[in-house]
A and B are shown apart, each in its own frame.
Chain A
Amino acid sequence: MKILYMIINVLLFLALAPLFEGMIRKIIAKVQSRQGPPLLQPYYDLLKLLGKENMSADGNAAFRLAPMIAFASIVSVIAFVPFGFQEGFLGGYADIITVIYLLTMGGVSVMLGALSSKNTFASMGASREMITMIMVEPVLAMTLIIGALKVKSLGIGASIAGITAGGYGWSVVLMLAVYLMALQAFVARQPFDITEAEIEILEGPFIEYSGPNYALFKYYLMLKQMFYAALFAMVFVPVARTEFYALTVVIQLAIVALVFVLISLLASTNPRLRIDQAVRYYTALIFMALCAVGLSVYGI
């Protein structure tokens, strides 16, 4: 059964991530008085890219492997998390450190691919990605650490469930606020789509990618954004837990959809920030997250 949970997890994410991406595009289009692409456009995009040729300026191995590592790492993260509040088969073999590690791995492989392409814009994108990673990962880490502190365990299921175990104390409310404020940065949407910034550095790290490799990166980004939305549902909305697994999954997906509505609205009503402005913002977030952890230590 535990293996089944894991498989359902992965299949659900793989199947729905492009749909949520399509939803974002549709909502942004509506805000902009546009018709927008069909809801299923991201699927078509992926299929189209998969059918194209891989172009590589100088086919070094790092450049070719980076998209696969990114994709593999995000799929593994998904395999670990207890979506529907049912821990999967692999849950017992890993802890939250593994999750954080694997998430970082995705960012690192984006950088790896970018730097190995030797493109000026890609390396600018890579350096922006690095700054973003360093500044944003702590917020995620501290979210999970609060749970781990409360239940005194680094287990994935335990610490995710543990955050709201003692109800919504001040530390949890603060952390929830910080998480929402960091959400746009987690999913690299405006105002924090600084790494890609099409108009400045032409999609930054991905500029040299095409065909199936680019499709993998795109898929990676979609999965990553769905993961962060789902993590919000798992961590901060424990009331969604019902006795029936299928019902819980459906409720959680509805919450994920709501988070995506929020992401779309924020993305369509903000200009892109500069990296220096973003760093100031992230610093404040890290500080607030630290406060939340501090409060939780005292059980507040």
Chain B
Amino acid sequence: MPTLESIKNRLNEKYKKDIAGSETLYGDTQLFLDIRKDVVRPICNDIISEGGRYLVSVGHDDGDRSGTLGLIHTFSFDADHFKVMVKTAAPADNPVFDSITPDIPNAGWSEREYIDLLGMKFTGHPKPKRLILADDWPEGIHPLRKEVPYNLVPPAAEDVAYQLDECPPGCSVVPVGPFHPSLHEPAHFAVFVDGETIKGCDYRGFMTHRGIEKLCTTQVSYNEVPFIAERICGICGSVHATAYSQVVELAAGIKIPRRADFIRTIMLEIERIHSHLLWLGVAGHLIGFDTVFMQAWRVREQVMWLAEKITGNRKTYGMIVIGGVRRDLTPELCDDLLKVVANIEKETMTIHRAIAGDTAVHKRTKGVGALTREQVVNWSLVGPVARARNVDIDARRDHPYAAYDEMKFDVPVVDTMDVWGTVLVRILEIYEAVKIIRQAVEKMPGGPVLYEFHDPIPPMKHAITQVEAPRGEAVHYVITGEENRAERWRVRAPTYPNLQGVPAMLMNNQFADFPIIVGSIDPCFSCTDRVEVVDMRSGKASVIGSGELEKMSRKR
């Protein structure tokens, strides 16, 4: 059993002079290491072999202070309840790092992201292709660099196109997307098929990247970001708002009222029930079983009504802010809440029984999208995708936040290793969410729901937090800054790691199973792309008529 201290001591001993500083933060839950960049790869490997799970890398432009670009790899020790951040830096004019992707495949996208956004270079990266920036974005402009203004519109590069991976011999390419009925948001998969059997795929996404992270670190202040964070995703909005608020509270040392913790827990679980039912419906639709789709969404509708009663909105609740929550739960609302969840529990059981006994559903989901436990661990997959493959991780239990430390609940883990397992896990989690809501209502203490803080938040504090979103774990990393806004804020939505595992899940499956395999991770491309749809410059959304749109599209 590694502990934070033992890891710290072992690494300090082994890499004496290469570790410039090691610091234990936030009550022994986070270890921050400052290392020389030559030893990034061995140290990361050592952390993985100790049992760490790769989370995300955070690149950060520190040019104005130290003339360097910082890179922080983060790891989680789930069974032992702590996290490790490994920071290194390279001069801004020659930012070359060793790639850790050959050993930790999930770091692939993070590193590609900083090739695009910060102009870093990674030696030994197996696929250093463009990931985030549009194909016609000119070379040499890296938007996350501080000297690049947030609203820069450079002239488009001409005659450029994304080069797809080489198609294996004997295969043909089936283009799925950018618009395809099995994808609910724009993304492009080039699926290489031999007859109907999938032999590989290449992914080109980030088509809706709008640069929220840049926006929130240059234009708005701490208090406004929770609402923007909530709009990262239409389904797990509260997750991102909670994660952001939590990480800022952590860095600033703000203690929020206990009642607010409970209300956050309730909102997160309402959202979880909503998301699971929504996904169950979508999964039914993807295997051509629309009755499951319609029935699951009928049940889900009650959650929407409930949310509207509590927050005023069917979705995108706008409840969570730094320091607590915006609205209190009255006793009447609590009664309503309990009634609705009891009803949902009952109706979910009916659907559960129907699906569990339906051999046709088993035919389409069992053995589909199979991965071994080792593959899941190697690819650092999260959420129901991992729990369906016997990987027992859940941030609510492993890294308790809000009021989860007081809640008693099970983390459903199954070992069917396939899409069927994901279906099971997500249905079982609905029951657990109901259980949590009941406990939270019962145990909820009185008192205020918002702590109003007036002291400035100290700059240059690093903090990381995990929140278990319905589709997996969301990670937020923040470096606090001056001028009442974060210096760097990194969001890693659950789709970010899971989407990277999709090619492995697709391998040697039938093309007919493509929709449900991609659907099984519940991909949220907008989370991954971090979209913002409201025009922040004018502060209002403008509506473009169809005639005008036609004119605009003809102009180009």
Contacts and interface: CB of A to CB of B under 8 A. Distances in A.
A200 B294 contact: no
A162 to B, nearest CB: 36
A190 B358 CA distance: 15
B361 interface: yes
A271 B364 contact: yes
Interface in B151-190: 172-175, 180-182
A269 B291 contact: yes
B196 A197 contact: no
Contact of A271 (B182, B196, B289, B294): B289
- Pick the most buried of A193, A194, A271, A274: most chain B CB atoms within 10 A of its CB: A271
Given A33-B298, A124-B196, A275 B291 contact: no
A124 B174 contact: yes
B360 A200 contact: no
A272 B360 CA distance: 8
B288 interface: yes
Interface in B175-232: 175, 180-182, 196
B288 A271 contact: yes
Contacts of B284: 271
A202 interface: yes
B288 A34 contact: no
16 contacts: A120-B174, A120-B175, A190-B288, A193-B288, A197-B288, A199-B286, A201-B511, A202-B180, A202-B181, A268-B290, A271-B288, A271-B292, A272-B287, A276-B196, A276-B510, A277-B363
B515 interface: yes
Nearest to A271: B289
Instruction: Classify chain A: how many residues form its interface, as a range.
Output: 20 to 34
A283 to B, nearest CB: 16
Contacts of B514: 200
Contacts of A197: 288, 512
A194 B361 CA distance: 15
Contacts of A193: 288
A277 B511 CA distance: 13
Interface string B504-524: 000000111111000000000
A54 interface: no
A45 interface: no
A238 interface: no
Nearest to B290: A32
A270 interface: yes
Closest 7 pairs (CB-CB, A-B): A272-B288, A32-B294, A271-B289, A271-B287, A274-B512, A199-B182, A268-B291
B364 A272 contact: yes
B295 A33 contact: yes
B295 A274 contact: no
A193 B510 CA distance: 16
A262 interface: no
B181 A124 contact: no
Majority secondary structure of chain B interface residues (helix, strand, loop or mixed): helix
Contacts of A270: 289, 360
A62 to B, nearest CB: 21
Given A121-B174, A271-B287, A33 B294 contact: yes
A191 interface: yes
Given A194-B512, A271-B288, A199 B294 contact: no
A197 B175 CA distance: 16
B373 interface: no
A33 B295 CA distance: 7
Contacts of B286: 199
Given A199-B285, A199-B286, A191 B360 contact: yes
Nearest to A193: B288
Interface string B272-297: 00000000000011111111111100
Nearest to A123: B172
Interface of B: 172-175, 180-182, 196, 284-295, 298, 360-361, 363-364, 510-515
Nearest to A121: B174
A274 B294 contact: no
Given A199-B285, A271-B288, 6 more contacts: A32-B294, A121-B174, A198-B181, A199-B181, A202-B180, A273-B363
A272 B289 contact: yes
A65 interface: no
Contacts of A33: 294-295, 298
Contacts of B290: 28, 32, 268
A152 B192 CA distance: 52
B2 to A, nearest CB: 45
A32 B512 CA distance: 24
A42 to B, nearest CB: 18
A264 B430 CA distance: 31
Contact of A275 (B292, B364, B512): B512
Contacts of B288: 190-191, 193, 197, 199, 271-272
A276 B364 CA distance: 11
A132 to B, nearest CB: 13
Nearest to B179: A202
Nearest to B514: A200
Given A199-B181, A202-B181, A274 B515 contact: no
Contacts of B295: 32-33
- Pick the most buried of A28, A199, A272, A276: most chain B CB atoms within 10 A of its CB: A199
Given A33-B295, A34-B294, A271-B288, A120 B515 contact: no
Contacts of B173: 120
A32 B290 CA distance: 8
Contacts of B363: 271, 273-274, 277
- Pick the most buried of A121, A124, A198: most chain B CB atoms within 10 A of its CB: A124
A200 B364 contact: no
B197 to A, nearest CB: 10
Interface in A168-206: 190-191, 193-194, 197-202
A58 B293 CA distance: 38
A200 B512 contact: yes
Contacts of A271: 284, 287-289, 292, 360-361, 363-364
Contacts of A120: 172-175
Contacts of A55: none
A15 interface: no
A31 interface: yes
Contacts of A31: 291
A286 to B, nearest CB: 20
